[in-house]
Amino acid sequence: MKRRKKAQKFSISDVRSYCLLLALAGLLLLVPGAAIMPLLDRDEPKFSEATREMMVNRNWIVPYFNNEYRFDKPVLTYWLMSLGYRAFGVNELGARVHSILSTILLALAVFAFGRRLVGERGALWGAITMLLSAQFFVHGRGAVADMPMVLAVAIAMFGIHQLLFGEGKDRRANFLITYLALGLGFLAKGPIAILVPVLALALYGVFSWRARRKDQDEALAEAPLWRRLHLILGALVALAVVAPWGIRALVLTEGAFWDVGVGRHVVDRGMRAFNKRIPIPGYYFVTFFLSAAPWAAWIGHFLIWLRRNWTREHAFLVAWWMSPYLIFLCYRTQLPHYVLPGLPAFFLLFGKFCQHPGLKFPRWCDRLKTAVFALYTTVGVIGLGMMFAPLPSVRYVGAALALIAAGLLFAARAKKRPGWVPVLGGLLLLAAGAHCLGKGLRVQHPVIALQPTFATLPENARCAYWGFSEPSIVFYSKKFWNAKARSAEDVQDLLDSGSYDLIVTLETELKPDRWFQAKYLGKELKMKDRRADLDTIQAPGYEVAKVEGLNIAHGSWVVLRTYRKAEQ
């Protein structure tokens, strides 16, 4: 009978080499497309413009967007984004570099700290599969607050694990790291950074009874673990991180930052769906197959393996993974990235699962895997079909979908045959897909098409709009939009006043489903059409022009009519 080889322990040089390779992989994956992809309405331009206004006004406490309060998120992301602007300029790359670096640091943290939870190779493959997953591919380059928060939560969870189960002289350092990370996580995205660890600890108390019994660790089972966390002192440390900014922000806004930032943007979104979205039962369990693509195809195999190998460490990671799912289970506003803080734990477990090939599983697991891979392949086929569309932007986006699907499917080969070839191939295909996606979205972005007009405006230009008020128009113009017309009569009044340098109006807007129904199902073409109203407008002294393109926020094709005051 052959003896199983004992897993070889990584040397210090191995760890450093793998950290370097992970960092290079993150750069290769996330930098392509980051500089050319336009800021995606609506969140990216709001964060980016608020940071620009913060730098112009030198007000580092209260964010403003379009010269009005912006209370949507705390301040850390704006501070980090300002560093990106100083390094790369006020542009798309400068707005996104903080997320790119946060994602790379997250991969390094998953590998470095995760070794204590799932072993060295499990942590390495956990970091790799996390980078090569759809949700981190998308959000890892976003000009938003998510990745700094996810990084902070991950570091806090690793610190909590060490406080609970670690021994020795590092406890003081782990204590400080844990609660500093919780404070920074709150500064990045608010209460979710605290709620995830708190609920994870509660879930661990439920999940760990079986693990304790299996590990036969009676002393640990009887020990009051919460005492090892020093919760009161830790809360003071986290509060010391948040309070210097938080108190000042509350004073300057007379409490409005809390009322709006938490009351409206956190509590109200939980009670009422944002932007009239319809809540879907089981939403996050369905979108998991997209967020964790392509690795979600093995979810059946993974869950059975997890049940067979239930340990204290696995209970801790499952509690961490599940906590955001439970937090947002009844939350009325639903977005796939809300559960991001729990995904590093899933990928650590998945990395360990990858180290156990050849196990036997029920047939339904393979059938589910086949069905999920068929779904991913369908996305690629749709992308190939889009490459024959008449519009250049659609062809670019189609090529991007095909390349991204191919990259994810190629990377998935690493599950069956671990090695660097599928990893590198997947990285290269995904990088090419990101570049094509950025190029395609930029080619026919209506606000990008307006940039030559923006460049001719005077420094203190007054601008207004009717029907098209996407935040990107504020960032790319670098102007305040002072008025919002509600009708063609309002537009006429603004033109008659002669005090506005640029007015942008929506002429037509066509949704793709309406176009499809008209072209292939014989239905009447329905779209938003304001041409008749705009044709009644008299604009002496103004140059009238049109631009068109894809409104990313609505997923619609828009034609904009602009009125630019003629130079005297």
For 323-367, write each residue's pLDDT tens digit: 999 999 888 888 999 999 999 999 999 999 998 887 899 999 999
Rg, the chain, Cα only: 26
How far is the C-alpha of 521 from the C-alpha of 162, rounded, in Å? 61
Is residue 551 in a domain?
A: yes
pLDDT of residue 568: 63
- Using DSSP, state whether 111 is helix, strand or coil: helix
Whether 369 and 509 share a structural domain: no
Is residue 397 in a domain?
A: yes
Whether 425 and 556 share a structural domain: no
DSSP 420-453: HHHHHHHHHHHHHHHHHHHHHHHHT-HHHHTHHH
Question: Among 335, 353, 371, which residue terminates a domain?
Answer: 353
Is residue 68 in a domain?
A: yes
Whether 96 and 166 share a structural domain: yes
For 361-405, write each residue's pLDDT tens digit: 999 999 999 999 999 999 999 999 888 877 777 788 899 999 999
Whether 340 and 375 share a structural domain: no
Question: Among 322, 353, 384, which residue terminates a domain?
Answer: 353
How far is the C-alpha of 292 from the C-alpha of 134, rounded, in Å? 6
- Strand partners of residue 548: 559
Beta strands in 131-288 (DSSP E): none
Is residue 106 in a domain?
A: yes
What b/e sequence results for 447-460 when a residue is b if at least 16 CB atoms lie within 10 Å of its CB, and e otherwise? bbbbeebbeebeee
Place of tokens 């705390």: 74
Is residue 156 in a domain?
A: yes
| CA dihedral sign of residues 44, 47, 48, 53 | positive
- Strand partners of residue 528: 509
Domain that holds residue 512: 446-565
Distance, C-alpha 445 to centroid of its chain: 21
Q: For residue 346, what is the enclosing H or E element?
A: helix 343-353
For 432-484, write each residue's pLDDT tens digit: 999 999 999 998 899 999 999 999 999 999 999 999 999 999 999 999 998 89
Find, among 561, 558, 566, 521, the residue nearest to 541 by Cα: 566
What b/e sequence results for 108-145 when a residue is b if at least 16 CB atoms lie within 10 Å of its CB, and e otherwise? bbbbbbbbebbbbbbbbbbbbbbbbbbbbbbbbbbbbb
Whether 431 and 485 share a structural domain: no
The stretch 276-302 carries a mean pLDDT of 91
Is residue 383 in a domain?
A: yes
Mean pLDDT of the chain: 90
Number of domains composing the chain: 3
Q: What pTM was estimated for this model as a whole?
A: 0.93
Find, among 136, 137, 430, 133, the residue nearest to 298 by Cα: 133
DSSP 403-423: HHHHHHHHHTHHHHS-SHHHH
The stretch 124-129 carries a mean pLDDT of 96
Three-state SS string over 83-99 comes to HHHHHHCCCHHHHHHHH
pLDDT at 4 over 60: no
Whether 147 and 230 share a structural domain: yes
Residues near 31 by Cβ (< 8 Å), separated by ≥ 6?
100, 141
Residues near 140 by Cβ (< 8 Å), separated by ≥ 6?
26, 29, 30, 99, 100, 103, 131, 147
**Geometric angle at alpha carbon 542, from 538 and 547, rounded to 5°:** 95
Is residue 104 in a domain?
A: yes
